Amino acid sequence: MNRLKVLLIASAFASTAAASSHLLAATVHVFAAASLTDSLKEIAAAYEKSSGDKIVLNLGASSTLARQIEEGAPADVFFSADEARMDGLEKKGLIQKDTRVSRLSNALVIVVAAEKGAAVTSPKDLATAEVKRLALAEPRTVPAGIYARQYLQKIGLWRAIESKVVPTQNVRAALAAVEAGNVEAGMVYKTDAAISKKVRVTYEVPRSDSSAISYPVAVVKEAKEPEAARRFVKHLASDEPSAIFRKFGFIVGQQRR
């Protein structure tokens, strides 16, 4: 009888603990740059198993995501592909400043179709008749496009190729345009090119020649799950996520603002 009572009590404690764990689980809405899609999906899946929290990813152009946050979209974490979008939210008091860190970096590359792609071996080839259309993420608002425009301006090619630019919603759309053969070339992040078998990299922009590419992350001021959001942001700096980011070609580092 005593043994039965012990088993019943142990079972009750286990049920209570399981119920409590379920109640403590949080849903964290992460607004993140499209170029982070594959790495964050893998990181989120592993984190959900270990933490019990659910990670909901909203992936797109950083400029679009920042605007959504400004308009009151339910975001807990913002992971931008550039500092400017994060700066804009910080100036408006929309992020928790003490959580902001620059987490990753990247590189720009020129890509063409893997089969029968245009003969482009250097940036100056983008100005030749070989390239009639050049896919860039929107160069006025989207980080990947802004970085590309700044680089092309720096080397004196922007005026020569500006009329050829096909602006796309985000960097993944620019990659897709090259894959589909809708353009002769594109400029995307190195990490995006690495996931595609339909394109090949013909030139990698030296990091010393381009603007510093920085991916800052922070908890949103009006986060519905602020503590869970802080846990996830902290987790992104740990060994397992860092290894996943590196696997997808990101340069991993952390610098607090």
User: Position of tokens 């590419």?
Assistant: 213
User: Mean of the pLDDT values across residues 204-233?
Assistant: 96
Domain match, 119 and 172 both: yes
Q: Is the pLDDT of residue 12 over 50?
A: no
Q: 17-45, pLDDT tens digit by residue?
A: 444 444 468 999 999 999 999 999 999 99
CATH number at residue 33: 3.40.190.10
Domain match, 88 and 175 both: no
Q: Is the pLDDT of residue 256 over 70?
A: no
Domain match, 128 and 85 both: no
Name the pLDDT band for 253 (thresholds 50, 70, 90): confident
Closest among 92, 114, 115, 76 to 233, alpha carbons compared: 76
Spatial distance between the Cα atoms of 100 and 106, rounded to a whole number of angstroms: 18
Residue 257: partners with Cβ closer than 8 Å, 6 or more residues away: 97, 100, 101, 102, 216
Instruction: Tell how strand 108-113 and strand 199-204 pair up.
Output: antiparallel
Q: What is the pLDDT of residue 2?
A: 56
Q: Is the pLDDT of residue 145 over 60?
A: yes
Spatial distance between the Cα atoms of 211 and 32, rounded to a whole number of angstroms: 21
Last residue of a domain, one of 180, 204, 228: 204
Name the pLDDT band for 6 (thresholds 50, 70, 90): very low
Domain match, 133 and 165 both: yes
Number of separate domains in the chain: 2
Average pLDDT score, the chain:
91
Among the listed ranges 3-12, 111-120, 185-194, 232-241, which one has the minimum average pLDDT value?
3-12
Spatial distance between the Cα atoms of 46 and 191, rounded to a whole number of angstroms: 21
Identify any residues that bridge with 116 across adjacent strands, giving them in sequence order: none
Name the helix (H) or strand (E) containing 17: helix 2-24
Domain match, 116 and 129 both: yes
Domain match, 193 and 227 both: no
User: Mean of the pLDDT values across residues 53-68?
Assistant: 97
Residue 179 tokens, joined: 């894959």
Domain match, 101 and 118 both: no
> Taking the model in full, what pTM does it have?
0.84
Domain match, 128 and 154 both: yes
Q: How many Cα atoms within 13 Å fall on the side-chain side of residue 181?
A: 4
Domain match, 61 and 82 both: yes
Q: What is the pLDDT of residue 10?
A: 47
Q: How many Cα atoms within 13 Å fall on the side-chain side of residue 210?
A: 24
User: Mean of the pLDDT values across residues 95-105?
Assistant: 97
Q: Which domain holds residue 128?
A: 108-204
The rounded percent of the chain whose pLDDT value lies above 70 is: 89
